[in-house]
């Protein structure tokens, strides 16, 4: 059994326009630090069911989806900006869980699948506890492990990294505008809500 675990966090989103730049990794200066942003071009998004969507190159998705490809709705995406960070964590340093952590994780899962469940907090808490009680030993162990990983990732990857990512994207776009005389230089900064689908 390994003593450590690699955790990765991907921040990505679709710009509100397409950048005429080749798909590649771009390094910008962010407050004196070199910060890498990946640009993805010519991607499509395909809803595959009510809770899932696939994104990728059309030819690759066509191979994966096989005979389903022709019947599925395809959304052509503009430029995608992305950053993936990976951290190593020792198993012994994983987040320690208590019952409240598990209940809150169960509530989050319930609301993700059924936002209509939001209402009386006590009823929602009781429903979450009932859902946990219905899990068999393997299901409970898996849920507990997944929750520990998520809580550990929250500590390893600060929420401020989303703001840093948006700042870096703004720097990249400014550089692009300066080098592209055919573009108007009337530019507004982008924040997470402006970059579609950022997460």
Short-list 35, 34, 55, CA closest to 43: 55
pTM score above 0.85: no
Q: Compute the half-sphere exposure of residue 161: CA atoms within 13 Å on the CB side of its CA.
A: 19
SS (H, E, C) 92-142: HHCCCCCHHHHHHHHHHHHHHHCHHHCCCHHHHHHHHHHHHHCCCHHHHHH
Contact criterion met (CB below 8 Å) for 151 and 95? yes
Q: Which residues of 74-103 are buried (b: 16+ CB within 10 A; e: fewer)?
A: eeebebbbebeeeeebeeeebbeeeeebbb
Structure confidence at residue 118 (pLDDT): 65
pLDDT in tens, 36-49: 999 999 999 999 88
Lowest mean pLDDT among 32-36, 145-149, 179-183: 179-183
Lowest mean pLDDT among 82-91, 107-116, 161-170: 107-116
Structure confidence at residue 3 (pLDDT): 87
């Amino acid at each position: 059994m390994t003593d450590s675990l690699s955790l990765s966090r991907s921040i990505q989103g679709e710009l509100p326009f397409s950048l005429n730049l080749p798909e590649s990794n771009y390094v910008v200066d962010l407050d004196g630090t070199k910060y890498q942003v990946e640009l993805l071009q010519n991607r499509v998004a395909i809803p595959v069911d009510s809770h899932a969507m696939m994104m990728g190159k059309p030819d690759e998705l066509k191979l994966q989806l096989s005979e389903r490809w022709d019947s599925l709705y395809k959304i052509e995406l503009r430029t995608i900006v992305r950053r993936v960070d990976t951290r190593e964590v020792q198993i012994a340093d994983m987040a320690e869980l208590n019952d409240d952590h598990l209940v809150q994780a169960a509530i989050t899962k319930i609301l993700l699948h059924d936002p209509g469940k939001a209402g009386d907090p006590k009823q929602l808490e009781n429903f979450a506890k009932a859902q946990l009680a219905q899990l068999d030993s393997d299901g409970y162990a898996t849920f507990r492990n997944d929750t520990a990983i998520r809580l550990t990732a929250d500590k390893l990857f600060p929420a401020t990294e989303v703001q840093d990512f948006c700042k870096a994207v703004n720097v990249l776009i400014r550089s692009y505008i300066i080098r592209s005389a055919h573009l108007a230089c009337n530019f507004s900064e982008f924040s997470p809500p402006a970059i579609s689908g950022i997460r």
